[in-house]
Amino acid sequence: MARSGAANRVTRMATAPEKIPIRLTVNGNHMELTVAPWTTLLDALRDHLDLTGTKKGCDHGQCGACTVLVDGRRINSCLTLAVMKQGAEIITIEGLAHDGELHPLQQAFIDHDAFQCGYCTSGQICSAAGLIAEGKAKTADEIRELMSGNICRCGAYPNIVAAIQQAKERS
Amino acid sequence: MIPFQYARANDVADAIKQIATDPSAKFIAGGTNLIDLIKYDVEGPSRLIDISHLPLRSVEPTSAGGVLIGAMVPNTDLAYHPLIEQRYPLLSRAILSGASQQLRNMASTGGNLLQRTRCFYYYDTATPCNKREPGSGCSAIDGVNRINAILGTSEACIATHPSDMCVALAALEATVHVAGPAGARTIAFADFHRLPGNTPQRDTNLEPDEIITAIELPPKGFSANYSYLKIRDRLSYAFALVSVAAALELDGDTIKEARLALGGVAHKPWRSTAAEAALLGQRTDAAAFAKAADWLLHGAKGYGHNNFKIGLARRAIIRTLGQAARGTPQSNSDKKIR
Ligand SMILES: Cc1cc2nc3c(=O)[nH]c(=O)nc-3n(C[C@H](O)[C@H](O)[C@H](O)COP(=O)(O)OP(=O)(O)OC[C@H]3O[C@@H](n4cnc5c(N)ncnc54)[C@H](O)[C@@H]3O)c2cc1C
Ligand code: SF4
Ligand code: FES
Ligand code: FES
C-alpha cells in the first residue's frame, strides 16, 4: 500500500531511531563509525570519514558521480545505506593509487585529457575500475554502453572511452 | 533523509514475522527504488527490514526442466548467469537494457518486480496523485503524460510499470514464489501485477506481509528466435517509452508458437492472447507481424502527449518480431535498429 508523508511517520515511530555502530574496510583501513540508519554510504564516506573524493551529483542514482567499489563491484553510494554494508570492503578514488604511483586508469585519464571540470571523474574512474574487473566490455561500443551510468556534463566522453581503452590494454 | 529504524532479517521466517508485527515497516533489498522514494518523501516507512543478506542468491535448474532464481540475485548476476545467457537470452538482454551497471549490481530480482512507476506526479508530492495519495486525483491524465500508459488505463491512473526485466518474464511466463504468515504460494506472472482500476495504490497482488522468495522460469526459453527492443529518449540509462519482448518457435518460416509482451505502455507488461494466436501457423512476414501488432494494441488510447506511443509501439512490434524471426536479436551496445 502506498502511504506517505512525514506527518504520518511521526506517530508511527514508537521510539527514536538509534544510531548504529558499523565496521567498514575503506581503502584497506579498518574503520569503525556510528551512523543513523538513514545515512547513505556516500554521506558516511564524505561527512564521517572525510573522504570527499567521492562526489554527490544528483543523490538519486541518476549520474554516477558517487560510484565506489563495494566488495569489488561498482555501485552508487548515494542509494546505499551504510548500515547495510556492515563488514564490507570499500574502495574509493582515494584508494586506487599505490605507493605514490597512480592507478593505470588515473594515469590514462591524464594522458587522454579525459575531463574538464573533473566533477564526474572520480565516479568515472571507479566505475571504469569496476568495468575492467567485470571483463564484459571488449569494444568501444561496449565500453560506452557499460559506462552509461556515469554522466559527464562537460561531455568528455570520447576521451573517457579512449582512456579506459588504454588502461584496459595495459591491465 | 527522513528518520526510520533499521533491522536485519535473519531468515525468511524472521522477515515475515518482522513485517507482520509492524504494518508501517518495509523490506529493503537493493534499495535503488526505495531509498530514492524515501528521499523524495513519497515513501515513509517507520522501519526498514533488511532482507539483502537472506540466502536467496542461487540460480538453479529445477527438476521440471526450468530454472529457479532466488529473490536476492542481483540483476547483473542474473543477466550474466550461463544458464540465463544460454537458455533465456531474452531475459538477459532485457535486464541489461535497464538502468546502469552500477544499479544492476545493486538491484535484486524481487525488488525489480516491485519498483514503483516513474510517473512524474507520483514523485512530486506537491501534486495530486491517486497512486501516492488515494482519492487526491490524477495529475497526469490532463497533464504532462508523455511517458504514461496507452493500454489498460483507468480514470484513476494512467501510470506505467517501468521494468524491463518484467517484460521478458511476462513473455517467458515465469512464476513468482512468495511466502507469508499464511504459508508459501505461487503467482503466475500474468497475475502478479495489476491494472490500476480504482485502486492504483496497489501495483501487485502481493500482500503487504508477503515476501518474494524466488522467480521460476519454465523450461521453454526461446533461445533461437527472440529479441528485446527498447525505445527511449537516450540510447542508454533511460526508461523505456516503448519496449517489446518477442519470442518465436519456428518450423522453417512458419510460426509454431509466439510470445509477445510490451513494456512502457501499461500498468503491467502487456500481452494479448489474440495477438499471439494471430501469429500461429503464419509465415514470418511483415503482414503477419502487423496483424499481431494491431491485436496487441487493440483499444490503445493516447492522452495527448503520449499519442505518439501508439504508432511507435506498432512499428516497434513489427521490427522486434522481424529480428526474432531472423535470429538477429537487438544488440544492447550497437544501437542501430536493424
Ligand atoms: C536512475 C535509475 C534508472 C533506472 N532505469 C531502469 C530501467 O531503465 N529499467 C528498469 O527496469 N529499471 C530501471 N531502474 C529501476 C531499478 O531496476 C529498480 O530500482 C530495481 O530493480 C529495484 O530493485 P531493488 O532490489 O533495488 O529494490 P528496493 O529498492 O530494495 O525495493 C523496491 C520495493 O520492493 C520491495 N521488496 C524488495 N524485495 C522484496 C522481496 N523479495 N519481497 C517483497 N518485497 C520486496 C521493497 O520493500 C520496496 O518497496 C532504474 C533506477 C534508477 C534509480
Ligand atoms: S498516472 Fe497514476 S501515478 Fe501518475 S499522477 Fe495519475 S494517479 Fe498518480
Ligand atoms: S550522486 Fe549517486 S548517482 Fe548521482
Ligand atoms: S569533467 Fe565535468 S562533468 Fe565530467
Smallest Cα distance from B82 to chain A, Å: 13
> What percentage of chain B reaches a pLDDT higher than 90?
99
Arithmetic mean of pLDDT, B227-231: 98
Task: Quote the ligand 3 centre to B46 CA distance (angstroms).
Answer: 25
Question: Could you say which of A67, A95, A123 is where a domain stops?
Answer: A95
Hey, are the CB atoms on B52 and A84 less than 8 Å from each other? yes
Return d(Cα B24, Cα B27) in angstroms, integer: 10
Q: What is the pLDDT of residue A7?
A: 42
In a domain, A119, yes or no: yes
Q: Where does the pLDDT of residue A16 fall: very low under 50, low under 70, confident under 90, or very high at 90 and above? A: low
> What percentage of chain B reaches a pLDDT higher than 70?
100
Arithmetic mean of pLDDT, A60-81: 98
Return d(Cα A61, Cα B105) in angstroms, integer: 12
Contacts of B287 by beta carbon, 8 Å cutoff, 6+ apart: none
Residues A23 and A83 in one domain: yes
B82 touches chain A (CB under 8 A): no
Q: Is the pLDDT of residue A92 over 70?
A: yes
Q: What is the pLDDT of residue A111?
A: 98
Q: Where does the pLDDT of residue A18 fall: very low under 50, low under 70, confident under 90, or very high at 90 and above? A: confident
CATH label of the domain that carries residue A69: 3.10.20.30
Residues A77 and A135 in one domain: no
Hey, are the CB atoms on A141 and B99 less than 8 Å from each other? no
Question: Could you say which of A95, A129, A161 is where a domain stops?
Answer: A95
Hey, are the CB atoms on B4 and A2 less than 8 Å from each other? no
Hey, are the CB atoms on B6 and A64 less than 8 Å from each other? no
Q: What is the pLDDT of residue A6?
A: 43
Residues A89 and A140 in one domain: no
Q: What is the ipTM of this complex?
A: 0.97
> Which sequence spans correspond to the domains of chain B?
5-52, 227-325
Q: How many CB atoms lie within 10 A of CB B238?
A: 15
In this predicted model, which residue has the larger pLDDT, B29 or A170? B29
Domain membership of residue A66 as a residue range: 18-95
Q: Where does the pLDDT of residue A1 fall: very low under 50, low under 70, confident under 90, or very high at 90 and above? A: very low
Q: Where does the pLDDT of residue A50 fall: very low under 50, low under 70, confident under 90, or very high at 90 and above? A: very high
Mean pLDDT of chain A: 93
Helix (H) or strand (E) holding B316: helix B308-326
Place of cell 522468495: B213
In a domain, A40, yes or no: yes
Task: Quote the ligand 3 centre to A122 CA distance (angstroms).
Answer: 12
Q: Where does the pLDDT of residue B264 fall: very low under 50, low under 70, confident under 90, or very high at 90 and above? A: very high
Residues A25 and A57 in one domain: yes
Arithmetic mean of pLDDT, A155-159: 98
Q: What is the pLDDT of residue A91?
A: 98
Q: How many domains does chain A have?
A: 2
Instruction: Measure CB to CB from residue A76 to each of B24, B103, B235 and give the nearest one.
Output: B103
Kind of pairing between the strands at B47-50 and B25-28: parallel
In a domain, A8, yes or no: no
Residues A42 and A59 in one domain: yes
| pLDDT digits 0-9 by tens, B234-259 | 999 999 999 999 999 999 999 999 99
Mean pLDDT of chain B: 98
Question: Could you say which of A46, A66, A95 is where a domain stops?
Answer: A95
Q: Where does the pLDDT of residue A10 fall: very low under 50, low under 70, confident under 90, or very high at 90 and above? A: very low
CATH code reported for the domain at B5-52: 3.30.43.10
CATH code reported for the domain at B227-325: 3.30.390.50
Q: Is the pLDDT of residue A8 over 70?
A: no
φ, ψ for residue B232, nearest 5 deg: -150, 175
The pTM score is: 0.97
> What residue spans of B114-248 are helical by DSSP H?
120-123, 165-171, 189-192
CA-proximal residue: ligand 4, atom 4 (nearest): A152
Same fold yes or no, B5-52 and B227-325: no
Which amino acids bring their CB within 6 angstroms of ligand 1?
Answer: A 61-62; B 26-34, 36, 51, 71, 98-99, 103, 106-108, 110-112, 114-115, 162-165, 211-212, 239
Smallest Cα distance from A110 to chain B, Å: 24
Place of cell 518482522: B18
Kind of pairing between the strands at A67-70 and A89-91: antiparallel
DSSP structure string for B24-93: TEEEESS-TTHHHHHHTTS---SEEEE-TTSS---EEE-TTSSEEEETT-BHHHHHH-HHHHHH-HHHHH
In a domain, A86, yes or no: yes
Task: Quote the ligand 1 centre to B74 CA distance (angstroms).
Answer: 11
Residues A141 and A76 in one domain: no
How much is the CA Rg of chain A, to the nearest whole Å? 18
Q: Which atom of ligand 3 is nearest to the CA of A79?
A: 2
Q: Is the pLDDT of residue A2 over 50?
A: no
Q: What is the pLDDT of residue A170?
A: 86
Arithmetic mean of pLDDT, B96-112: 98
Arithmetic mean of pLDDT, A44-48: 98
